[in-house]
A = this chain, B = another copy of it.
């Protein structure tokens, strides 16, 4: 079904992964890894790890001078697409993730395909965080992929570092597929940089 991705592709697509959890063995990381594994059959997936390379709180000075920040912005800019995952805290993305996004701008994200995954412990876990991330991405003129995955009651879905429910495996695979399909259409072109003619 994804066979078209194997054809006529001048180079492998590059997908950046950003995880909003700092916790060792977090369910969000497990979910992102699951998506990344699927992606890696068709594209390069690379992690921008906020735990290994922690970004300081946003200031203009840090944006200009901090090497980790400069590297982070650069990697986002060079990615064809981005997969963002977050645990849901209070119906929204985490502060550490929002802080990382604070360093970005339309320069890096305009019309760039973004897939979203959110993980929450409760009955409705993830829904609010997906909304919050969609709104932020809309503000940055990124292209939010319509299909998104909320992993609610996460302790039932992810156990011992594995996604254990087939329904959620399918949802995460669908996130990966849709991200790749849209990215193939969008990134291979200059659509990201089209502007109103003077």
Interface residues on A, range: 35 or more
Cross-chain contact A102 with B91 (CB below 8 angstroms)? no
Bound CA span A141–B194, Å: 24
- From A169, which residue of chain B is reached at the shortest CB distance? B196
- In the bound complex, residues from chain B placing their C-beta under 8 Å from that of A131 are 128, 131, 135, 138
Interface: A1 (CB within 8 A): yes
**In the assembly, how many copies of this chain are there?**
4
Cross-chain contact A144 with B138 (CB below 8 angstroms)? yes
Q: CB < 8 Å: which of B93, B124, B127 contacts A98?
A: B93
- In the bound complex, residues from chain B placing their C-beta under 8 Å from that of A197 are 1
- In the bound complex, residues from chain B placing their C-beta under 8 Å from that of A22 are 57-59
Bound CA span A197–B38, Å: 13
Cross-chain contact A92 with B54 (CB below 8 angstroms)? no
Interface: A69 (CB within 8 A): no
The 8 A CB mask of A168-198 against B (1 = contact, 0 = none) is 0010011001100110011001010011110
Cross-chain contact A90 with B196 (CB below 8 angstroms)? no
Q: A170-B196, A191-B182 given as contacts; is B140 within 8 A of A90 (CB)?
A: yes
Interface: A89 (CB within 8 A): yes
- In the bound complex, residues from chain B placing their C-beta under 8 Å from that of A178 are 111, 194
Q: Which residues of A contact B (CB under 8 A)?
A: 1, 22-23, 54, 57-60, 89-102, 104, 110-111, 123-124, 127-128, 131-132, 134-136, 138-144, 146-148, 150, 152, 170, 173-174, 177-178, 181-182, 185-186, 189, 191, 194-197
